[in-house]
């Protein structure tokens, strides 16, 4: 029994859902998203709800049931309210600036990294003296937003000794103790 897959997705006002074969499209004020759904999962739209059911009790089909329910719930939430991720650059001399959809990152390498942000993701940077620069990414597509944020973070992952690197705001880094002097 899938607890997630059995709960319906509520369609908010101003959002429309259409099903063509195995492709589900969601349209809202922030944009339009579509998702290919496995043929073994049945998707129906009733008034202001999206309902999911499955044909068999196979382990794979049961897992897909909850997966597609979560994906479509994220699509409805994204075209209605959108998603935001914030990254902070912790380290001496670490900087970030954007010109349109190009993000200019300086994180201790001999050169700056110029990263092209996809058109569906909006980027803004804020730098305040004495504080770590913060890059804010917003999009209606949660999967794309997570992939872009993870790619930016991969340029300089947080290290466990001093905590320097690119991290999500609020992310806890497990710190390690450094070397201690030998006592003889």
- Report strand pairing: 23-28 vs 31-36: antiparallel
- Average pLDDT of the residues in 168-183: 84
pLDDT at 1 over 80: no
Q: What is the pLDDT of residue 129?
A: 87
pLDDT digits (tens, 9 = 90+) for 36-75: 999 889 999 998 999 999 888 888 888 899 999 999 999 9
In this predicted model, what pLDDT tens digit does every residue of 99-158 receive, in sequence order?
999 999 999 999 999 999 999 999 999 998 889 999 999 999 999 999 999 999 999 999
What pLDDT was estimated at residue 90? 92
pTM of the predicted protein model: 0.88
CATH tag for 83-168 (out of 3.40.50.1820, 3.90.930.12, 3.40.50.300, 3.60.70.12): 3.90.930.12
- Under CATH, which architecture does the 3-80 domain have? Alpha-Beta Complex (3.90)
Question: Three-state SS string across the chain, please?
Answer: CCHHHHCCEECCCCCEEEEECCEEEEEECCEEEEEECCCCEEEEEECCEEEEEECCCCHHHHHHHHHHHHHHHHHHHHHHCCEEEEEEEECCCCEEEEECCEEEEECCCCCCEEEECCCCCEEEEECCCCCCCEEEEEECCHHHHHHHHHHHHHCCCCCCCCCCEEEECCCCCCCCCCCCCCCC
Comma-separated ranges of CATH 3.90.930.12 domains in the chain: 3-80, 83-168
């Amino acid at each position: 029994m899938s607890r997630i897959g059995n709960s319906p997705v509520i369609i908010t006002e101003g959002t429309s859902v259409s099903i063509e074969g195995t492709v589900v499209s969601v349209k809202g004020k922030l944009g339009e998203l579509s998702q290919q759904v496995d043929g073994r999962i049945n998707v129906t739209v009733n008034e202001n709800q999206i309902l999911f059911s499955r044909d068999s009790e196979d382990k794979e089909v049961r897992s897909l049931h909850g997966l597609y329910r979560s994906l479509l719930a994220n699509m409805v939430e994204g075209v209605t309210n959108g998603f935001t991720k914030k990254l902070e650059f912790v380290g001496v001399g670490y900087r970030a600036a954007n010109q349109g959809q190009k993000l200019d990152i300086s994180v201790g390498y001999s050169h700056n990294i110029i990263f092209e942000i996809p058109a569906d993701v909006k980027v803004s940077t804020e730098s305040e003296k004495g504080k770590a620069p913060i890059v804010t990414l917003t999009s209606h597509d949660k999967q794309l937003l997570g992939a872009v944020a993870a790619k930016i973070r991969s340029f300089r992952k947080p290290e466990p000794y001093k905590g320097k690197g690119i991290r999500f705001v609020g992310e806890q880094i497990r710190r390690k103790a450094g070397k201690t002097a030998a006592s003889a």
